[in-house]
Amino acid sequence: MGDLASLAVVVLGVAASVGWGIADFGGGLASRRGPLLGVLFFTQLVALVIALPLAGLAGEPALSTRDIWLAGLGGIAGSLGLAALYRGLSVGRMGVVAPLAGVLTALVPVGAAIVLEGPPSPLVVAGIVLALGSVVVVTRSDDGGGDRPSGLMWGLIAGFAFGFFVLALSQLSDGVVFTPLAVVRGTEALVIAIAIVASRGAWRVPRASWWLIVLIGALDMAANVAFLGASHSGPLAIAASLSSLYPVVTVVLAAIVLREQVTAARAIGVALAGLAIALIASGRA
The 10s digit of each residue's pLDDT in 10-32 is 889 899 999 988 998 888 888 88
d(CA 3, CA 242): 18
- Where does residue 118 rank: exposed (0-12), middle (13-18), buried (19+ CB within 10 A)? exposed
What is the tens place of the pLDDT at every residue in 114-173? 777 777 778 777 877 887 777 667 655 554 555 666 677 888 898 899 889 888 988 888
What is the residue extent of each domain of the chain?
2-284
- Using CA atoms, how far residue 30 sits from 54, 198, 257, in Å, is 26, 22, 13
Angle at 227 between CA 223 and CA 230, to 5 degrees: 140
Model pLDDT, residue 162:
87
